[in-house]
Each structure stands twice: as structure tokens, then as C-alpha cells.
Amino acid sequence: MRRATIGVSLKMYLGHQQTLDWTRAVASIARDHPAVTEGLAELFVLPSFPDILPVSDILAGTGVRTGAQDLAAEDHGPYTGEVSGAVLREIGCAFAEVGHAERRRLFGEDDTVVAAKTAAALRNGLIPVVCVGEPNVCDPEEAADRTVAELERILYTTSPGRTFGPVVVAYEPQWAIGAPAPASTRHISAVCGALASWIGSRPELAGSRVIYGGSAGPGLLTRLGADVGGLFLGRFAHRPESVRQILDEVLALPDRFRPLGPAAR
């Protein structure tokens, strides 16, 4: 059985002090919540770059891990303003988000760039949170085909010697990001099921999981099928109590999530 994977990207919504206050509240919740203490939930937070170290310090000993919202495709060199996966790993990051729709739309990142950043995360021992999702509303079957093809392009647009390993696939239909409500449960389950099936056929991706983002929040996890391994949260996690509610939902799904043994954690 598997743990639920619950990720939170703070994007650029919160200021520095707001981020620290939010983190202290989440740390207090995680420190005592059975979903975390009993190994039912894997919780990670992606703050802005300047906040990674203080957030990591606050979360130390809680079981909550940290990561970055982006990383450079290169590990070192004359890349002004970039942050490498090597540095992120050195300061204790466990995750790095790649391919978010906002990075694609605002900064022109395409599948080739996302593939390079995914490779950079993997070779530096980071778990890439690979965001995929169709740009426009379509039926679930078409969305599933398009999203699996997108993930395949990202993970296998490779050069010789590419490193593979576990990834977190965040299915985020672009049309649902920032919307008042997430995609329908039928749509989410169909696409996440196709992604999970495709990943399951790739032994080099063993340990990977599929989660849903795109206006995800409290009340959604208990309505989704077993192929959805968790949630990727944005603005609906700005209230720490919302994080607690979602962890409560993990406890309400005893048939789907079980603690992993010590060797697997």
C-alpha cells in the first residue's frame, strides 16, 4: 500500500513573514497529526527560493519535507539568476517542481525545457514534481491520451545516460488552474488512472505517484478514485486549517492509504 502525497506550492502569494507564520502553523499541525506521524501521508511544501532554508528549519522534525518551485536545467556555470539542482539538494530540498502551466505560459518553457529540468532534478537526487495537463476543456478520454503523451515526451526526451527514478506526476488541467472549482471527479479519475497505468508499465519509474492539482482543496480527496495518490495544492491551502482538513481526509480513506515500513520511508 502507499502513502497519500500532499504537496503545497506557495507560488508568490505570501510575503516572507507570512510564509514563516504559515509554516509554523503547518508544522504544529503536522507534528501531531496521525496522518503524518503514522506514515499515512507524505507532506511537502514548495516556498519561494529565499524562504526554503528558514521553512526547512521550521519544519525540521515534523516529517514535512521542502522543495523548490523551479530549478535550472544546468548544474553550474554562467546562468545569472538561476538556481541549480545541486544547490537545492545541498541545502536540503527533496523536491523540485517542473513544467507548471504558468512557467509555460509566462516564460515560454516547452517540453524540451521541462525534460531538461526533470533530468536535472533526477541527477541531483531530487524528486521532480512534473506538472502535466491539457490546455483546453475536452472529454476525459482525449485528455488522458494527450496527458500520457505529454508525460512520455518529458520523461523520454533524453540524451544517452539519462537518470531515471521516482517522480511525482501532478495532473493539472490548465483550464482548471485558478478556476472556482476543480475538474470533475470523473475527469480526474480517468486521466490519473491512465497516467498511473502508464507509469506502472515502466519499471525505471518504480515508486512514482500521480496526484491532482488545479483548484484542489478540502473535500476533494475523499471523492476521488484509488488511482489518485494525493493532491497538489495552491491557494486553497493558504489557510493552515485547510491542510489539517485534507490530512483528516487521508484518515477517512483507510482502504487506500497505509503507512509504509521504515525502510520505504
What would the pLDDT profile of 88-104 be if each residue is shown by its tens digit? Answer: 999 999 999 999 999 99
86: left (phi over 0), alpha (psi -120 to 50) or beta: alpha
Residue 127, beta-bridge partner list: 95
**Cα separation, 122 vs 89, whole angstroms:** 11
Q: Which stretches in the chain have pLDDT values below 50?
A: 262-265
- Taking Cα atoms as reference points, which of 192, 238, 191, 196 lies closest to residue 217? 238
Regarding beta strands 230-233 and 41-46, do their DSSP bridges make them parallel or antiparallel, or are they unpaired? unpaired
Residue with cell 515560454: 108
Q: How many Cβ atoms sit within 10 Å of the Cβ of residue 102? A: 15
Contact yes or no for 153/110 (Cβ under 8 A): no
Position 264 scores a pLDDT of 40
Angle between helices 52-59 and 16-32 (to 10 degrees): 20
Question: Which of 33, 100, 109, 187 is labelled catalytic?
Answer: 100
* 16 flagged as catalytic: no
Q: Give the model's pLDDT for residue 163.
A: 81
Question: What does DSSP assign to residue 260?
Answer: P
pTM attached to this predicted model: 0.95
CATH topology of domain 4-264: TIM Barrel (3.20.20)
Cβ–Cβ < 8 Å for 250, 257: yes
Of 64, 50, 72, 95, which is closest to residue 237 (Cα–Cα)? 64
**pLDDT value of position 254:** 76
From 134, 150, 172, 249, the catalytic residue: 172
pLDDT of residue 263: 38
Burial class (CB in 10 A: 0-12, 13-18, 19+), 253: middle
CB-neighbour burial class of residue 64 (10 A; exposed 0-12, middle 13-18, buried 19+): buried
Give residue 157's pLDDT: 77
Half-sphere exposure of 99 (CA within 13 A, CB side): 35
Cα angle 107, 239, 64 (rounded to 5 degrees) comes to 75
Residue 161 is predicted with a pLDDT of: 63
**Amino acid in the structure at residue 159:** S
**CA-to-CA separations, 187 to 155, 179, 250, in angstroms, rounded:** 23, 15, 21
Domain extent listing, the chain: 4-264
100 in catalytic set: yes
